[in-house]
Amino acid sequence: MRKIGLFFVVMFALMGVCSPVAAQGGDISVWTKMANQQGGPEVIPWITYDTGEFFLETRSNFDWKDAFTLFVGKSYHVGRHSATLIPELGMIWGQDYKSITPQLLAFGTFGDRFSWTGMQQFSFGNEERFPDFMYHWVEVLYEISPMMIGGALKMGISEQVYWEFGTDGAETLLDIGPVIRAEFLNDFYVKL
């Protein structure tokens, strides 16, 4: 719990430093991983902030258990269907894993009710004991109904691939499953 508190303090301090620049948008989300290696649910806080000049992203417990992640990049809006591409460079920092990690984040919409998000990440461990890995994630959501207070209830499907490379005993994991997302005021959402 102490690490999550520190995570929010660092991110809000970064947002405060950036606030004089006219912000295009931000996103605060809380994800729940229903099962982890210890068998219980795990909370994943995730915050993004886009000033127009640069894009900041930070999260905890997503890239590696008990690890803090910070990315800096720039967003590019492309096409007629409101797609956004964000190349980023960042780091994963935790007791059990440290790395330099380039990442490409992309998202957009098609039609009135469909939205999609994708991420491609390559992580290069800072020490020989930390494996290099590739992570790929795609999610497609359909808006079931608008909600009060400016949000929406969405359902869809998500696909993830994790592949360790460059280490002995390389590991590959594939996960495909349903997603439920409840948005509130379009800036905060809870995802299961």
* DSSP result, 146-178: EEGGGEEEEEEEEEEEEEEESSTT--EEEEEEE
Give the chain's domains with CATH numbers: 2-191 (2.40.160)
Amino acid type, 182: A
The pLDDT value given to residue 40: 63
Q: Give, for all 192 residues of the chain, the pLDDT tens digit.
A: 455 455 455 444 444 443 333 335 777 777 766 655 555 677 888 899 998 789 999 999 888 888 999 999 999 988 765 899 999 999 999 988 999 999 999 999 888 889 999 999 999 999 888 889 999 999 999 999 876 666 888 999 999 999 988 656 567 889 999 988 887 765 566 666
**pLDDT confidence of residue 88:** 97
End-to-end CA gap in the chain: 20
SS3 5: helix
Asked if residues 50 and 75 have their Cβ atoms less than 8 Å apart, the reply is: yes
Task: Report pLDDT for 21.
Answer: 35
